[in-house]
Structure 1
Amino acid sequence: MLPYYSITQDKGLTSLLKWEVDPDFSREPVTLLAGDGAARTIKLGNIIALLATVSDVSAVAAADAGNTGDGTLTIADPAVTTAAKEGVYTVVCIDPAADAGTFDVSDPEGKSVGTAKVGVAFGKQIRFTIADGANDFIAGDRFEVTVTKGDINPNAGKAVAWDPAGADGSQYPWGIAANAAEAQDGSDLDFGLIALRRQVLCFEKGIVWPDGVTAAQKAEALEALEKQGVVVRAA
């Protein structure tokens, strides 16, 4: 009987990429952050993220002393998105209702960034939820959210694996790795990692998910990618 050999090959790009408008437009090279104590490895199909500009951002909420409504505003974790600006955001009730209400959210420059509803999470620039209290809100009731940014992150803009529990920019999907890459301990990989970034169609079976990711986190990641033009389909 002749000997039998089994060979296992790494997956190729065709296992992930179904269609792209043009490689020169759809793909983008990115620097992979150096390993920290060991090599940092990215697999083909990993969702990748970029580190944020600042290493630490805090947000503190305070209710106006003159509010009629006694509901609370609770800051989420993470407290901000990468679009957050340093300064004071105002959250003002513009449409009161029994056990509810709608608030306009303005950035430190006074520009409206959206509306927040009582009991519904708000996630544009700053992230929070307003809870109803014993006394209903009235028009003009307000909160202030003060955003303070820390030191500039020297690794801003470098790629890491997407981490839904991150708070340094790694929690926001930016693209999908079109190849495997490895940055050695203490040394960035300036060339070698390519991301699928825009106007591409990918197979869901080609995505390599981080350990412990939930179905809800997967759905949120795919939604964020689709907003950037990276569409993932089951087949």
Structure 2
Amino acid sequence: MGILPVMKFQQTPGMSTLLKKEVDTEICRSVGTLLAGEVAARSLKMGQLVGKIAGTEQAPAGAKLGKLVAWNPTATDGSQIVQGVCLKDCEAAVGADLVGGVLYSRRLSVLNRAAILWPADATDAQKAAALDDIEERLGLIVRA
């Protein structure tokens, strides 16, 4: 018998590290447009919470209306409300929206708490409030 070579692979963490269970992909997932970068490319990483630009009467969203960005708990443009959790890395170039480029878990899923990526400046209270909100409003359950 010959000797077989040993090959080692290091797999990049995939969606299964974040998404533990979902009812059905057609029901649980959504696709959206990532807002273009303004000064540098705008990116979302798998596990980041996603917000949607809504605007206000005082500050209308204009062309940004309905586009996705990273969740920002201190924003006032709609992105302070979690719409889901990003399921794959994506990037929008400066001045060019990434149409249909954001795949995110929107409802009725179980997510791995350790795979959630929080903004660096998010407080523990903001994180807890976001988790409570997405569980109650979206049916996204975060477990260890």
Provide TM-score, normalisation by structure 1.
0.55
Q: 1:13 aligns to what?
A: 15
Contact 1:52 1:153 in 2 (8 A): no
Q: Which structure's CA Rg is the greater one?
A: 1
Give the structure, 1 or 2, with the largest relative contact order (CA under 8 Å, sep 6 or more).
1
Residue 223 of structure 1 aligns with an amino acid whose one-letter code is D
Residue 18 of structure 2 aligns with an amino acid whose one-letter code is L
Q: 2:38 aligns to what?
A: 36
Q: Does 1:161 align with 2:62?
A: no
* Identity score, percent: 40
Q: Does 1:204 align with 2:104?
A: no
Q: Where does structure 1 lack aligned partners over 5 or more consecutive residues? A: 1-5, 58-148
Contact 2:110 2:142 in 1 (8 A): yes
- The change in CA–CA distance for 1:151 and 1:198 in structure 2 (over 3 A counts) is closer
What is the CA-CA distance between 1:159 and the residue it aligns to? 0.2
| Structure that is richer in strand per residue | 1
What is the CA-CA distance between 1:21 and the residue it aligns to? 0.4
Q: 1:219 aligns to what?
A: 128
Q: CA RMSD in A?
A: 1.8
- The change in CA–CA distance for 1:7 and 1:214 in structure 2 (over 3 A counts) is farther
Residue 24 of structure 2 aligns with an amino acid whose one-letter code is D
- The change in CA–CA distance for 1:43 and 1:19 in structure 2 (over 3 A counts) is same
- 2:92 and 2:59 map into 1 onto residues whose CA distance is 27
Q: 1:176 aligns to what?
A: 85
Contact 2:61 2:77 in 1 (8 A): no
- 2:10 and 2:75 map into 1 onto residues whose CA distance is 34
- 2:36 and 2:10 map into 1 onto residues whose CA distance is 29
Q: 1:112 aligns to what?
A: none
Q: Does 1:191 align with 2:94?
A: no
Equivalent residues, number: 137
Provide TM-score, normalisation by structure 2.
0.88
Question: What secondary structure is seen at the aligned counterpart in 1 of 2:82?
Answer: coil
- The change in CA–CA distance for 1:169 and 1:12 in structure 2 (over 3 A counts) is same
Contact 1:46 1:208 in 2 (8 A): yes
